[in-house]
Each structure stands twice: as C-alpha cells, then as structure tokens.
Structure 1
C-alpha cells in the first residue's frame, strides 16, 4: 500500500468543512463566524457520532488553527493536564491562531459559539525529533492553554505500557470525516476496535483499517484509548493513514504514536508549564 502524506490526509481544511451543508460561498459561511449549519452525518469511518450526554463526549477536543498559508485547519486532541492538550506535531508545526474547542457539535443548532466555548493556546512544544518531511515519526506536540479547561472535561491518564488491560476494547475518537472522499467533519465521533488488530512497531502503533473502520481526515492528533481497570488510558496519538489511492486513503491502515515511548518527554514539558 502507498503511504499518503499525513498533513494532507489527517489535518483538514476548516474552510472546506464549513462549506459543507451550506449553499452559500465559503467567505460568507466563515463570516457567520462561530458555527456551521447542521447536516446529516453518520460516523467516524464505520463508527458513531458521540452525543453530549455520553461519558466519552469529554474525552477528546477539537483543535482549530491557521496553517503557514493562513488556511483554517482542524485536528483532534486530548486533555492531559488542566491546561495542556496533546496532539500530532503536524497539527502544531506551523500553526498560528490556535484554539481548543470543548464541544462535541459545532453546529449553529447546538448553540455552539467559538468565542465562548474554546480556549486559546499560548504555547506549543513539538517533539524535538519531529521532522515535517518524515511522516509518522515523532509526530507529537503539546499545547498550553491560556486558561484551565472546563471542569467537566477530565484529565485523561497516560498508559504506562505495563499495566495489564482490562479487555481487548480500544476506543478511537476524532472530529474527522467518515470516509476518504467526504467532507463531513466537525462532529466528535468514535469507533471501537479490537486490541489484536494493532501492532506495535517501534515507537508506533499500526492499525489495519481494511474493514473500513478507523480514522480519517481531521482525526489527526486524536486519542487511541486502552481500557485499564475500567478506565480509559491514552495509549496512542493518531498520525497518518494509508491507502491505495486518494479515493481509498482511509481504508488501508493507520499509525499512531505510542504514548509510553514518549512519556519522559511529555512529563518534562508538563512540568515546565506548571
């Protein structure tokens, strides 16, 4: 299978996402500002939409930012301290005007407002070994927030790589699209996989997505959770997807950064931000 660029696949242009479901032009939609019209969406590549009433609705966050060319982009992240979010490095490398959104549904009908339901990022720390021209390697970054996250969002524990798992259930969350050629992002969705479908490859976790269930565009930086003693522990941060071509780019496989392998770096950064 051919490997496809992480940045072009898993990061997603926010402008394109905002246009979906609306007959007006891109500029007009963006000028409305802080929400998008609702449309029927179905699930994160074989998964399901997460409702605000579900416990998992607070286990991931949406990240919006401008890239080096000023284009609005989206990624997914995880709260790992009251004022810190972990995501993929390619979601931070040239990012400006970064906001972390604490909401599952950014439609106008949900009363979402970007100004009141997001927090600006004030600092970022990219893994020092990351190189933007090498996809799927050391693809981790941390954002420091201007204020603490809402109290109803829990700090997610990091998997230590040692503790025995409670079961084979692995949960992936993300705000990305439901298919290789779709533009239906901006809703939090989840999919459950079997632990046996993952392979540990050095610093990474690889997942077979030939069953058309997994991550896609916009899910970059999102969490891979293991079940440890009945609690979700962050074991991976999503980075890249593989496919035979652009029309099946999310139907081959995916790769995430294995959190235990980066624990010392993560701890050092968080300590420096206290």
Structure 2
C-alpha cells in the first residue's frame, strides 16, 4: 500500500441507504445474508451488549453506534445531520423482529472540525446522549488506552447493522440492513496524523452502508475495547464503473487519538 494511502480520489459515506421499512418495530422478512464476508451476531455473543441501531426520522437513514456510558453513544459525525434532530436508538439484534428496545436522543454533538469532503482530516466522530438508561443486558464498552489501541497489522472486529453489498451505479440494494453482524479484519495502514486507519476489503470481508459509526474492537482478556469508529468505504476506480464499493477499502477514526475530545464532550452532554 502506498504511503499516501489517505490522499485518495473518492470517498463514500456509509449511512446513505434508505431502508424500505426502517422503523424499529417493522415486520419485514428475516434477513439471512451476512455482513460482507462476516457472520451474524447471536444473543449469547457478548459483543452484542455494546451495540445500538441509530435511526433518523429526518431522512430515514440509519447508522450504528457503540455504548460508552449509561446514556452516551459514540458514532460518526456524518450520522448526525443536525444537533436539534431526534434520533431513535434501538437496542437489539434485528430491527425486523420488532423486539428492539427503543430510546430517543436528548442531545448530540459532532466534532467541530468535521469535514465531509476529506479523509484522515475529516474528524468524523460524534456523540449522542439519551434518557431512560440502558436496557437490561447492555453495557458500555471501554475505550482504547495506552496499551490497547489500533495498530498496523493487528486484527480488529468490526460490527454493524449495515447491508451486505453496495454496487456503484446500480439501484440501491438494502440486503442485510438492520441485522447485527460482525467481521474480523486487519489494519492495513494508519494516517500520519494519527486520526484514522484503513482496512483493505478486497478479500470480500468488511463493512458496508449502514455500518457507519459502528465500532472496531480489539479483544483482550475476554473484553472488547473500542479502538475505532467506522467512517467510510473508499475506492480507487473510475466513478462510472460498476463494482461493489464494499469490497474495496474502508476507513475508521482512531479512538485513541480522539479520546480527549470524547471525554471533554461527554462531560458537557451529561
């Protein structure tokens, strides 16, 4: 991979899909496909207790988030269209089952330096607060620290509610959306400024639309540590070609770098 990997030609935000029936209590058929090359998350998998489905009534888009305290969710800045909006937060494995426990946002903030048209400088990170407390069985995930953080060539576990494919220049296919899935990936490179890291998905494994804001975990001693926030899929091919965007590359914001911002903003939202 070239040293200037983050100076790429094009970038795609991951929460732009619009589910056919995206409500938390919808009754669409069960989805059996998996996140790109990954697997569905079962109720007994402890990773599920850290995740939340984020749905916007404003534009019917959805994202993924990670619980970091009793009433705070960490996600991507581009998942927050307007800080005055109300978002529905669904706690559960599958929005099509109508069994998710819902909460509503009561505050949110995105990084003041967020820029949609940049890559490693985009600062694509945000926080959502909510009332009502966590449903039973859910708990916060610890953040990256001095010993456990994103490292080049290390394995991460990405988790999200996104769809399983995103073919450019073809009508949107919402296959797989709303069902929690996970996939093990390897960090390919990190940006020079420490803000982001990149993963290759050319082996058919990775994140897709709707996984935005979701976590990249590193597992240590049975505990999942949040080391990254899903930001975008990246590609290097001509815009007019037809190919699966979710089988190219992806970018994550580095939690270790943004931890001071997370801590400062958390104090203001609570």
For 1:24, the equivalent position in structure 2 comes to none
Q: Which runs of 5+ in 2 are unaligned?
A: 1-7, 168-172
Kept after mapping to 1: 8 A contact 2:185/2:199: no
Give the CA deviation at 1:52: 1.9
Give the CA deviation at 1:264: 0.7
RMSD: 2.3
2:140 matched to 1:155?
yes
For 2:15, the equivalent position in structure 1 comes to 11
Structure with greater proportional helix content: 1
- Using structure 1 for the length normalisation, give the TM-score: 0.82
**1-side partners of 2:228 and 2:49: how far apart?**
17
SS class of match (1:53)? coil
For 2:94, the equivalent position in structure 1 comes to 105
How do residues 1-274 of structure 1 correspond to structure 2 at under 5 angstroms? Answer: 2-6=9-13, 10-16=14-20, 18=21, 34-66=25-57, 70-94=58-82, 96-107=85-96, 110-112=97-99, 117-135=101-119, 137-163=122-148, 168-181=154-167, 182-184=173-175, 185-194=177-186, 197-201=187-191, 202=193, 203-243=195-235, 244=237, 245=241, 247-274=243-270
Return closer, same or farther for 1:65/1:135 CA change in 2, 3 Å cut-off: farther
- Using structure 2 for the length normalisation, give the TM-score: 0.83
Return closer, same or farther for 1:164/1:260 CA change in 2, 3 Å cut-off: closer
Return closer, same or farther for 1:78/1:42 CA change in 2, 3 Å cut-off: same
Q: Which runs of 5+ in 1 are unaligned?
A: 20-29
1:34-55 Cα deviation digits (max 9, x unpaired):
2132234221100011122322
Give the CA deviation at 1:163: 3.8
SS class of match (2:34)? coil
**1-side partners of 2:46 and 2:222: how far apart?**
13
Give the CA deviation at 1:209: 0.7
Q: Give the count of matched residue pairs.
A: 247
Kept after mapping to 1: 8 A contact 2:201/2:246: yes
Give the CA deviation at 1:164: 7.7
Q: Which contiguous aligned blocks of 4+ residues in structure 1 show a shift greater than 4 angstroms?
A: none
Kept after mapping to 1: 8 A contact 2:88/2:102: yes
**2-side partners of 1:83 and 1:199: how far apart?**
33
Kept after mapping to 2: 8 A contact 1:35/1:112: no
